[in-house]
Structures are given as structure tokens and as C-alpha cells.
Amino acid sequence: MKKPLVKVDVLDASPKNSNKNSRRKFIKLGGLGIAGSSFLLYGCSDDDLFNPGGDVGGPDPVDPDPVDPPVDAVFDLGSGDVGILNYAYALEQLEAAFYAAVREGDYYAGASDEEKNIMDDLYNHEVIHRDFFKAAITAAAGEENTLPDLEFDVSSIDFSSRDSVLQTAMALEDTGVGAYNGAGDRIADATYLTLAGKIVSVEARHASAIRSLLNPDSADFAGDDIIDENGLDLAYDPSEVFEIAGGFIVTDFTADNLPEPNTGS
């Protein structure tokens, strides 16, 4: 698998960057942001994870000096639970950016009150998830181990088209559900597992509502396209998630050290 090396905007890594709402020029890249398949399982000092500034555990593949990151540094999501939290944070950044853009588009401007309310709520929830992860990871692992603000290219989405917006929302929400479901057994700390559970069911509620808007009076809210014959929802590995979501992600990062599933076998 190819491992693209694209720089993380140094400004994004700066602790003083308060320019989160600005629309930096999107840089279109062909490659996905992710290449990690050389997973390594590191021991993780779980007890420290809620300890602000505590030891994160596991080797840090990134330059350990947060003050002066090299210009060409590619952020790695990290190992252990911090890696999984950064992984979730990347997805929440994407979802929040998407709904923020939706609310500035023509579909939203002309949408029914019901659909406007749904878009407002989904925007709220994803912004809350995103900023919660930023605070939680920063507290647990330090800013230097927290995924920087990512840039996204959403030029493939027609924000004036209801169908384009809702189809994209469906894809993102379904992917989010599958990502959290597939990541659960890679989490070592029960508190983080429950936190992921608190979020994934909200993503599933979103996915259901969007699917219901797209095809009312149908079984699509939990359709046979996503729920298997055992009644089980999607569960994606990180590589599958980045294959789906990677097209929107401009800022490159790696996921070389995410933990493997722990199924006790």
C-alpha cells in the first residue's frame, strides 16, 4: 500500500491557531490520507489516559517535540486508545465540516423546517463530538499527540442539491456507525469503550433519520443494504473507513500504529 507523504499545515499544529472557521484554500490531492496496514500492538498505560499530561504509553512515531514540528511531519494517529480516539476525531472533524458547509448551502436555505431542524441538530452533534474529542485527547495525551485540524475537499458535493447533500450525509453517517462498531474491540479502556458507545448510537440515529428522509415509508432506515441476515449493522476496519472517507480528506496523516482487535482469541 502506498504511504503518501503530504505535509500537515504547520499552522494547524500551532497551539495558538484560532482560525478554525476560516476557509483555507482546499488542496486537491489524488491519494488517500491513509496507508497504515503495518499495525503494531503496543502496550498502553490505560490508567493514565484520563490524566492530563500523563504518559501516553507506547513509542511515539512523531517528532516528540511539539514546539517546533518539522514542516514535513506527517501526523500519525498513534497507538493504543489514543490512536483510536484520534481516528474517531478525524471522522468527527469530517462530519462537522460537512454539516457546517451544508448549512451555508442553497439546499439548506430552501429546505423545509423539518429538514432544516435535522441539519441543525446533526451539525450541533458533530461539532460537539469533534470538539469533545479534541479536548479529551489533548487532556489525555497532550497537544502534540492530538490530531491537528484537518482540511477537507468537499467540492464533489453539490450543496444546492438535496439529493447530493442527503446521499453524502447518509454515506458519512453509515460510515461513522461502521467505523465505531469496528473500532470497539480495539479499545483497551472500558470508559473509552462506553464513550464510543454513547456516540455511535447517536450516529445511528442520524443515519436512520437521513435514510428515512431519502426514502420515506420504506425499510431503508435500517435497510437490507446495511443490515445483514443476522440483524447486524456495519462494522468497518480503519482501512475500509479511510477508503470511503479518504477522498474528502486533504491533510495527510498515517495510521500505522492503531491497535489490533482484541477478541480474546
Partner 1 sequence: MSIIKLLDEFSSEKLTTKSSSRREMFSTLGSFGKKAAMAAVPFGLASTKANAMFQDSGNAAVDALQLALTLEYLEAEFYRLALDSGVLPSGRPETVYMQIYKHEDAHVEFLKAGLEGAGATPVSMPNFDFTAGGAFDPFNDNGIGQDTAYAQLLALAQAFEDTGVRAYKGQAGNLMGTAFLEPALQIHSVEARHASEIRRIRGLEGWITGSMRGDGMPEATQPVYDGEENVMQGGVDVTTLDFANPIVGDVTEAVTQAFDEPITAETATAIASLFIVSDDSDSDSDS
Which grid coordinates are listed for 218? 420504506
**Which range binds partner 1 by CB under 8 A, 4-12, 30-38, 157-165, 219-227?**
219-227
**C-alpha radius of gyration, the chain, whole number:** 18
Asked if residue 219 binds partner 1 (CB under 8 A), the reply is: yes
Asked if residue 21 binds partner 1 (CB under 8 A), the reply is: yes
Cα 226 to the chain's mean position, in Å?
20
Asked if residue 214 binds partner 1 (CB under 8 A), the reply is: no
The correct pick among 11, 59, 201, 225 for binding partner 1 (CB under 8 A) is 201
Asked if residue 195 binds partner 1 (CB under 8 A), the reply is: yes
**Which range binds partner 1 by CB under 8 A, 32-40, 123-131, 151-159, 238-246?**
123-131
Q: How far is CA 256 from CA 7, 22, 142, in A?
A: 16, 30, 19
In whole angstroms, give the CA distance from residue 133 to residue 139.
10
User: Residue 113: is it exposed, middle or buried by C-beta count within 10 angstroms (0-12/13-18/19+)?
Assistant: exposed
The correct pick among 37, 38, 112, 124 for binding partner 1 (CB under 8 A) is 124
Whichever of 74 and 188 has its CB closer to partner 1, that residue is 188
**Which range binds partner 1 by CB under 8 A, 31-39, 65-73, 105-113, 126-134?**
126-134
Counting residues that bind partner 1 (by CB under 8 A) gives 68
Strands 253-254 and 75-76: parallel
Contacts of 21 (CB under 8 A, 6+ apart): none
Chain position carrying cell 415509508: 217
Chain position carrying cell 489514543: 82
The correct pick among 39, 108, 180, 242 for binding partner 1 (CB under 8 A) is 180
Helix (H) or strand (E) holding 135: helix 113-141
The correct pick among 3, 222, 243, 247 for binding partner 1 (CB under 8 A) is 222
Helix (H) or strand (E) holding 129: helix 113-141
Q: How far is CA 52 from CA 12, 49, 139, 179, 235, in A?
A: 21, 8, 4, 26, 31
Asked if residue 41 binds partner 1 (CB under 8 A), the reply is: no
**Which range binds partner 1 by CB under 8 A, 23-31, 38-46, 64-72, 214-222?**
214-222
Contact positions vs partner 1 (CB under 8 A): 20-21, 50, 96, 100, 117-118, 120-121, 123-125, 127-132, 135-136, 139, 177, 180-182, 184-185, 187, 190-195, 197-209, 212, 216-219, 221-223, 227, 229-235, 261-265
